[in-house]
Amino acid sequence: MSDQNPKDLSESQPAAAPGAGRRSAGRPKSEEKRAAILHAASELFLKRGLGASMDAVAQAADVSKQTVYSHFAGKDELFRACIQSKIADYGFGDAGILADIDPATPVGDALFAVTQRFMALIFDPHVVAMHRVISSEASAHPRIAALFFETGPGGTKAAVGALLEQRVAAGELRPLDVNYAAWQLLNMAFGRYHMQLQFGLIKSVPKADLHAHLRHVVQDFLAIYKV
Amino acid sequence: MSDQNPKDLSESQPAAAPGAGRRSAGRPKSEEKRAAILHAASELFLKRGLGASMDAVAQAADVSKQTVYSHFAGKDELFRACIQSKIADYGFGDAGILADIDPATPVGDALFAVTQRFMALIFDPHVVAMHRVISSEASAHPRIAALFFETGPGGTKAAVGALLEQRVAAGELRPLDVNYAAWQLLNMAFGRYHMQLQFGLIKSVPKADLHAHLRHVVQDFLAIYKV
DNA sequence: ATAATACTAGACTGTCTAGTGTGGTAAATT
DNA sequence: AATTTACCACACTAGACAGTCTAGTATTAT
C-alpha cells in the first residue's frame, strides 16, 4: 500500500521544470503564475482545508481556472505541491536548527536555544494550520503526513539527538538513550501548548510565558541528565 | 455534568427529552432510532469527517432520512451530539481516572497507573479519530473543541494535579507547581506517540513499548520531584 | 510571418449533497 | 374509535464543485 508508484512524491510535473529540460517551442509557462497559484492555494488550503474550491484558488491567484489546471494536474496534486513547498519554505527540521550553536555554549543555554527555535517553528500559525490539515487528510495522503513528520519534528529530534551526543561525549551529560532523551525534551517543550493551539483554544503562546516554560523544561531536563 | 442529559451545550433539541417533559400525545419518538442514528453518524464522522453525507448516515442507521432530520435539526447539530455523546461515553477526564488508587500505593506506582489509564484513553483509535476531526473542525465548532479539551486532557491534568498534591502533603514529593508538574507528566507521556498516531504513521503503540516508555517517564518525573 | 503554446473568460457537464415535500403506514395517547 | 405523531419511501429543489470545452487573445521561438 505504501507505493506502487515511483514518481508519486517529488515531481510528477510534466512541463514545470524551468531550467533543465529542453525548451519547447511557443510561449513558456510563467513561473510567476505558478508561484501565485501555489501561494493562493496554500493560503486557502491552510485556512479551509481541502474544502477550498479550485475556482476560489484561481480567483485568489488572479488567474483563469484553465491556467491552474495547466500547471497542476488536479486538486490532489496541487495540495501536495502546496504542502511540499511549505515544508521547503520553513526548512524546518534542517540540521540548521542548531547550526550556529557554539560547542562551547553551556549545555543549558544550548538546549534552550534549540527548543526555542523548534517552538517558534511549530507554534507558527501557518505551521499549526498545516498540522491540522495534514492530520485531517492523513488517510488520503499518507506520504505527505510522513514527509511532514520526518522533516519536521522528526528532523528536529535527530538534530537534538546529535547535540546531546556531543554533550555526553564532552562529559556534560550522563550517558543516555539519545533517541529517548531527545524526544523527551521536545515532548516536554511542546506538549499541551501545541494541543491547545491545534484546537484553536489559544492563538499564540505569550513570549514571556514561553520563555519561562522553556527555562523550566531545560532545568528539569538537566535535573535528569546532568552529570 | 456527566449524567445522560442530552441537551447539554445550549440545547435546541425540541422534543428529545425522554423522562422529564410533558408527554405529548401520539406516538413517541423511538430512543432506539435516535441511538442508532447517533451511533452510525459517529462512526461515519470519525471515519470521514464532516464529509460524510446525511444520506449515508440514514442508510447506515437503517432509518429514513426524514427520521434523521426529525431527531436532529441538521448536520451541525448531529455532529455536535455525536461528539458530546462520545465524550460522555468515554467519561474520560473524569476524576474517576484515579478513583480506586489507594493513597498507600507508592508514588511511582500511582503515577504509572494514572498515566497508563490516560494513554489507554487517548491512544484509543476512536479517540484519535475524534481528535483529528475536532481539530480540523475547530474553527467551525469552537465550543466543541473546548469541551473536548477540558473534559479530556484538561480533566486528566486536574486529576493528576490532585494526586500530586496528596503526595506532596504526604511528604513523598518535593513541593511543586502542581499545574506545571501535572502537565509535565502528561506531556512526557503522550508526546511524540500521540503525534504519530494522529498522522496515521503508526496504528497503535505496542503494549510492551508503551509499558517501558511509561516506566521511564515516571522514573524521570521522580528524578525531578522525588523528595 | 508562422507556428506553437500560454492564457483568458465564461459556458457547460456530471455528480454530489443538504434539506424539503408528499402521501401513505404504523404506533402510541385519549 | 379518533387523533396525533413517528416513521417510511421516494421524488424533488437548489446549490456547490471538479473538471472540460470553446473560442479568442497574448507571447514566445523559429
**Which set of grid coordinates corresponds to residue B96?**
474517576
- CB count, 10 Å around CB of A99? 8
Task: pLDDT band for A154, please (50, 70, 90 cuts).
Answer: very high
* Residue A158 confidence (pLDDT): 92
CA–CA separation, A209 vs A213, rounded Å?
6
Give B172-227 pLDDT, tens digit per residue: 999 999 999 999 999 999 999 999 999 999 999 999 999 999 999 999 999 999 98
pTM over 0.75: yes
Identity of the amino acid at B14:
P
pLDDT confidence bin for B13, thresholds 50/70/90: very low
Distance of alpha carbon B55 from alpha carbon B61, whole angstroms:
10
> For B124-141, how does the pLDDT look when each residue is reduced to its tens digit (9 = 90+)?
999 999 999 999 999 999
pLDDT at B89: 85
What was the pLDDT predicted at B94? 52
The sign one gets for the Cα dihedral B56, B62, B65, B69 is negative
What is the number of other CB atoms lying within 10 angstroms of the CB of residue B211?
Answer: 14
Question: What is the distance between the alpha carbons of residues A54 and A78, in angstroms, rounded to a whole number?
Answer: 10
CA distances from B46 to A46, B49, B109, B207 (A): 21, 6, 34, 24
Q: d(Cα B53, Cα B91) in Å, to the nearest integer?
A: 28
Cβ–Cβ under 8 Å, residues A32 and A18: no
Nucleotides in C strand less than 7 A from protein CB: 3-11, 16-23, 26-30
Q: What is the pLDDT of residue A96?
A: 65
Residue whose CA lies closest to nucleotide C28 C1': B27
CA angle at A144 for the pair A191 and A67, rounded to the nearest 5°: 130
Instruction: Give chain B's length.
Output: 227
Rounded to whole angstroms, the Cα distance separating A132 from B132 reads 8
Calpha distance A79→A67 (Å, rounded): 16
> pLDDT confidence of B92, banded at 50, 70, 90?
low
Q: Please give the average per-residue pLDDT across A135-153, as a whole number.
A: 94
Phi, psi of B137 (to 5 degrees): -105, 10
Lowest mean pLDDT among A100-104, B43-47, B115-119, B220-224: A100-104
- Tell me the C-alpha distance between B173 and B21, whole Å: 51
Q: Which three cell numbers stand for residue B2?
A: 456527566
| SS3 label, residue A158 | helix
**What's the pLDDT band for A92 if we cut at 50, 70, 90?**
low
Confidence of residue A98 (pLDDT cuts 50, 70, 90): low
Mean pLDDT score, A62-80:
98
The set of cell numbers assigned to A115 is 527548543
Spatial distance from the CA of A133 to the C1' of C18 (Å): 24
* Predicted confidence (pLDDT) at residue A19 exceeds the cutoff of 80: no
DSSP state letter for A227: -
Residue keyed to cell 465548532: B141
What H or E segment, with its residue span, contains residue A89? helix A75-90
Q: Compare A142 and A100 and report the one with higher pLDDT.
A: A142
First to last CA, chain B: 37
B14 pLDDT more than 50: no
Q: Which residues on neighbouring strands pair with residue A173, listed in sequence order?
A: A226
- pLDDT of residue B95 exceeding 70, the answer is no
> Are A79 and A141 within 8 A, CB to CB?
yes
Interface of chain A toward chain B, CB-CB under 8 angstroms: 49, 132-136, 138-139, 142, 145-146, 148-149, 153, 157, 180, 183-184, 186-188, 190-192, 195-196, 198-201, 216, 220, 223-224
If you average pLDDT over residues A46-55, what whole number do you get? 95
